Structure 1
Amino acid sequence: MSLGLAAATLLLLPGFCVSAGPPKTSVSEDQETVLLVWHSDGADPPNCWTSFQIGGCRVTGDRGEFRWTDGVLFRHLDVVNAGDASLPREPRPPGQKWIWFQIQSPTMTPRLAEYEGVYNLTFSYREDSDIFLPPGYLVPNALLDYFPQAANAVPLDASAARRRGCLSWVVSHWSEKLERVTLYNALKDHVPVDLYGDAGKAIPPGKDAVVELLRDYQFYLALENAQHTDYITEKLWNAVLAGTIPVVLGPSRENYERYLPPEAFVHVDDFPTVRDLARYLLKVRDDPVLLETHLGWRRKYSVYRPAKWDEYYCVACEVVRLRRGRTDVVRNLEAWYFS
């Protein structure tokens, strides 16, 4: 089981830290664990306890501390693009854990084969990573009293009122070769689609601008740029937060159902043709009973979105702390990530 992951009902509820087995050595409560972020952006490191109630951990971006840190986190794209500064030149201190960190899809992950046997832990969007933290997840309202970040979880509005717009899509990476663009081009012939981003209308300025924009629409095209196991990005959670029904293209329906109730989204694979998909969307929009079916589940849940990047670093530090005394080597990194 991945560290940083636990299950609640049928949905994923990361944030409660569960170990695959007890550490081989005990971890003293006052023994600080230090995580070095190798390619730091220069921002002030987070206080893991104040921000996320993760104790015994300190995050630093100071490479001068390399020799005595317990773990080092390497963002894969920074490593492959950094040339001579990609990895430390000094020998790795005994017991220090190197963490491979990547949230992009395999399609956007080059040169993995060069790093076989280099790392000790994986950290990605995949549920079977050693460290797993998705861009968002549901928290049952009945469990909020037990959720450390309850104050930052957003209760969901279950309103099934008809909205001004029918269907929208916000897209930044446009390529006619992508399956999502092919889907859009076919779908817009059957149902009106308001397009925003680099290929359409400008997104209004402001924090959470995309979520606010989507509140005007009944449906949103949450279309991933690649289809891989567990690759479900913030696109889905923008729709959920906005109270619009996500129309998803990505991994299988079963994969999405690990994160949302089955009625919470419309999967493009559920329909034999794009025309059938469009007909269903128009039917739902005009049917209060169907709208309630797709939105009523929201009364029981809140959404939590981990803070980039601070929470990711603190969770990684906590896992290093829990696994002190255990040293594994990540082998077959490329084969696993592309599986």
Structure 2
Amino acid sequence: MTSKPSTGCLQHIFIASALLLCSAVIFYMYYKPTMSWLPCSDTALPKQDVCTEECLRVLEVENQTQIITDCSAVQEKTPTTQSPVLEKEDTANPHKPEIVVLVWKWPFGEQFDLESCESNYGIKGCRLTLDRNQLDKAHAVMFHVRDIGGEVSNLLTLSRPPRQKWVWMNMESPAHTPQLHGADDLFNLTSNYRRDSDVWVPYGRLIDISEKDEPFKIPEKDKLVCWIVSNWNGNYRRVGYFNELSQHIKVEAYGRHFGRYINKEDYAKVMSSCKFYLAFENSVFKDYITEKLFNTMRLGAVPVVLGPSRENYEEYIPGDSFIHVDDFKTAQELAEHLKLLDQNQEMYEKYFAWRKDYVVQHSAFGQEHACRICDHVRRYKTFRIFKSVNKWYWS
């Protein structure tokens, strides 16, 4: 006599059949969405939510785990909960088109490697070119503002694709940058040291120390305070401050004005031999913190800075890594502080505490701008108009 299946197992088989049916519905929902007889018809929105709720209602029964333990046949037929369509969407890697950036001119005539965006910055899919025949194909054109002063009228006549980005690139402060008259509507992106520019490229930055970096050791010193200056102008604040400071402390000054020219080979040697270096900017503007600071830190001297506020500097480097002239009421007070540090090695060495965690990384002028412009254009597809670069930069 053949035994009949128990009522409990029949119930479990029924539930499993319902699960199989619901899985079939989900399958047809993704691959045959136009078939109106499906439970998820075009009139039921959203489709995925409706079908998912129907399936979940089947699963909302008591002793759900008992289905697996009591009916092995049902276990074998239980459908997978993974969706092959969703897996394809998650793992797909669609090919991204190459971004072309036309470098209109070498900035200041300084050439750089056009094929190093990926190796130097990890930016893939970029092609930099100097070929102006590629103008109609370029996604962006980088103009170094200091090199196009007499070309504005010609640039205004060029035919450019409507979505092409023309990038105003510059690293000089407003005091040393000419305004381009008639170019208010010429550019739609900016690349600059200022953090409110579209493509921000500072003169330098501190990055985490790596295993390949050698442990830092303060270089041997035989000079107290140094300054190397090429651009001497009696109207600059830094010149007036130097003249006063040098009355209270000996400053080893180099440059054409002092008849002590320093070449590139001797620059690092002289800088490293100084306990303090006057990293004085030629003009004072927000975020205008140049290689003078970062060279000093990299070569093992303590920077004495004259530029934007201390708060602005501390947005770039630790507050205990530099001395700001504004921390002292007079240049004489600063001189006395430097003499104190000269006599107290422990206090002096505290200015190098940051070297345990960071190293200096310089920006590559021109090259980094072009590569980061490429990355920006790839990332951001939104419409952008820059009505007046002159108003933005000189306001």
TM-score range, shorter chain: 0.7 to 0.9
| Separation in structure 2 between the aligned mates of residue 83 and residue 113 of structure 1, nearest angstrom | 8
Residue identity opposite 1:320 in structure 2: V
| Separation in structure 2 between the aligned mates of residue 42 and residue 102 of structure 1, nearest angstrom | 14
Is the CA contact (8 Å cut-off) linking 2:149 and 2:180 kept in structure 1?
no
Q: CA deviation at 1:242?
A: 1.0
User: Does residue 330 of the first structure (1) align with residue 386 of the second (2)?
Assistant: yes
Residue in structure 1 matched with residue 100 of structure 2 by the alignment: 34
| Separation in structure 1 between the aligned mates of residue 195 and residue 139 of structure 2, nearest angstrom | 24
Q: CA deviation at 1:251?
A: 0.4
| Separation in structure 1 between the aligned mates of residue 214 and residue 364 of structure 2, nearest angstrom | 17
Which of residues 148, 152, 155 in structure 2 aligns to 1:79?
A: 148
| Separation in structure 1 between the aligned mates of residue 170 and residue 263 of structure 2, nearest angstrom | 29
Distance 1:29 1:158, change over 3 A: farther
TM-score normalised by length of structure 1: 0.82
Residue in structure 1 matched with residue 241 of structure 2 by the alignment: 183
Equivalent residue runs for 1:124-135 within 5 Å: 124-135=192-203
Q: CA deviation at 1:137?
A: 0.5
SS in 2 for 1:254: helix
Instruction: Report which of the two structures shows the higher radius of gyration computed on alpha carbons.
Output: 2
SS in 1 for 2:337: helix
| Separation in structure 1 between the aligned mates of residue 244 and residue 95 of structure 2, nearest angstrom | 58
Equivalent residue runs for 1:296-335 within 5 Å: 296-323=353-380, 325-335=381-391
Equivalent residue runs for 1:1-339 within 5 Å: 29-40=95-106, 41=109, 43=111, 45-82=114-151, 85=154, 87=155, 89-112=157-180, 114-141=182-209, 144=210, 157=216, 159=218, 163-200=221-258, 201-206=260-265, 209-323=266-380, 325-339=381-395
| Separation in structure 1 between the aligned mates of residue 298 and residue 119 of structure 2, nearest angstrom | 25
Is the CA contact (8 Å cut-off) linking 2:306 and 2:325 kept in structure 1?
yes
Is the CA contact (8 Å cut-off) linking 1:125 and 1:132 kept in structure 2?
yes
Distance 1:127 1:177, change over 3 A: same
Q: After TM superposition, which residue ranges in structure 1, 4 or more long, deviate above 6 angstroms?
A: none
What RMSD in Å do the two structures reach over aligned CA positions? Answer: 2.2
TM-score normalised by length of structure 2: 0.71
Return 5+ residue gaps in structure 1 as ranges.
1-26, 146-150
Identity, in percent, stands at 36
Q: CA deviation at 1:189?
A: 0.7
SS in 2 for 1:219: strand
Q: CA deviation at 1:162?
A: 6.4
Distance 1:105 1:315, change over 3 A: same
Residue identity opposite 1:232 in structure 2: I
Return 5+ residue gaps in structure 2 as ranges.
1-92
| Separation in structure 2 between the aligned mates of residue 293 and residue 218 of structure 1, nearest angstrom | 13
Is the CA contact (8 Å cut-off) linking 1:57 and 1:321 kept in structure 2?
no
Distance 1:71 1:205, change over 3 A: closer
Residue identity opposite 2:262 in structure 1: I
Could you say which structure has the greater relative contact order, defined with CA pairs below 8 angstroms and 6 or more residues apart?
A: 1
Q: CA deviation at 1:198?
A: 1.8
